[in-house]
Amino acid sequence: MACFEAKVDTRFEKIANLHPCFSGGANMSRGRVHLPVSPACNIQCRFCKRSFNKSEQRPGVAGRLLTPEQAAQLVDKALTLCPEITVVGIAGPGDTLATTHALETFRLVHRRHPELINCLSTNGLLLERYAQDLWDAGVRTVTVTVNAVEPEILQYICSHVVLDGRRYEGLEAASILIEAQKRGIRKMAELGAVVKVNVVLIPDINDFHIPEIARTVAELGAAIINIIPLIPQHEMADLEAPDCAQLNEAREAAEAFLPVFRHCQHCRADACGIPGRGDLSHLLYDEHQSIIQETFSHG
């Protein structure tokens, strides 16, 4: 453990005590509300299947899509349902920076509730571009999903990237995404944000690569890492999810470089409440509220 003690600064400790997705203790005592405002994505991961429904418990899924104004107003109701909420997060259901909806929402929420932590989850493609805007909107924690730091590996995980209206595939797409993620993580860390990195563990594709990912993002300024198991679906529906032993081995390998978050529950993009005590989203959302959009765009 001594190898990463220098990474755990007072800023991270303060955030971890308040953020249920950064600390095991906070996971049982602090709440968060995820606002589903992001309708599109600018990359396509081979395991990603985004959807609107009320049954699946996984990222990329929400019951409906909200406008920034609707989402900001909903925070008041969420705080009434769960006064322990300390974090307003936006994690989809598309990528949070593929449109400006998340940034607009954070600006509104920060004006109404400056005491809350604004938290963004992103694939990182446009993180550097919007880093200062996010900081100015009160975003203090950022989660970036980094599934490889070598294009030769990432090309088997991410099929394409759309950047400024142009589509890239293969090694070129992987290289663009990796370099963008590196710049974005470094920029947000330099601004003062606490950065968590999520890694989807995919046996025989990136399982051996975990130490290199952890070492790289630690050097860029990430404060914590979260290794989550593959959910076999979409183009990876025929793959096996990692078992507990594989997951534990990957976490131990990453722990040589960064603290590891071990309580992730694959939360939906519209989750609400204290993660370790169950979800309150069924109480938060009005069944008769109109669904704004039911399709996704990948550029």
List, in order of start, the domains of the chain with CATH numbers: 2-284 (3.20.20.70)
Mean pLDDT (the chain, rounded) = 85
**DSSP class of 42:** S
pLDDT at position 112, please? Answer: 93
Average pLDDT value for residue range 20-24: 64
Three-state SS letters, 126-183: CHHHHHHHHHHCCEEEEEEECCCCCHHHHCCCEEEEEECCEEEEHHHHHHHHHHHHHH
- pLDDT (tens digit, 9 = 90+) per residue, 55-82? 566 566 666 789 999 999 999 999 988 8
pLDDT at position 49, please? Answer: 77
pLDDT at position 12, please? Answer: 65
pLDDT at position 93, please? Answer: 87
Per-residue CA distances from 244 to 32, 116, 173, 233 (Å): 27, 35, 31, 19
Report d(CA 295, CA 299) in Å as an integer: 12
**Which carries the bigger pLDDT value, residue 123 or residue 59?**
123
**Which carries the bigger pLDDT value, residue 54 or residue 208?**
208
38: helix, strand or coil: strand
Other Cβ atoms closer than 10 A to 153 = 20
Average pLDDT value for residue range 211-235: 94
- pLDDT (tens digit, 9 = 90+) per residue, 39-59? 899 999 998 877 555 656 656
Choice among 13-27, 114-128, 227-241 with the minimum mean pLDDT: 13-27
The pLDDT confidence band at residue 234, using thresholds 50, 70 and 90, is: confident
Give the type of residue at 166: R
Give the type of residue at 184: G
**Which carries the bigger pLDDT value, residue 178 or residue 287?**
178
pLDDT at position 11, please? Answer: 65
- pLDDT (tens digit, 9 = 90+) per residue, 129-174? 999 999 999 999 999 999 999 999 999 999 999 999 999 999 999 9
pLDDT at position 138, please? Answer: 94
Per-residue CA distances from 227 to 23, 55, 82 (Å): 14, 24, 28
- Using a pLDDT cut of 70, give the percent of the chain over it: 80
For the cut 90, the answer to whether the pLDDT of residue 122 exceeds it is yes
**DSSP class of 236:** G
For the cut 90, the answer to whether the pLDDT of residue 296 exceeds it is no
Nearest to 201 by CA among 245, 142, 136: 245
Report d(CA 299, CA 159) in Å as an integer: 13
Report d(CA 160, CA 277) in Å as an integer: 37
Buried b (16+ CB within 10 A) or exposed e, 90-120: bbbbbbbbbbebbbbbbbbbbeebeebbbbb
Write down the pTM of the prediction: 0.86
pLDDT at position 55, please? Answer: 53
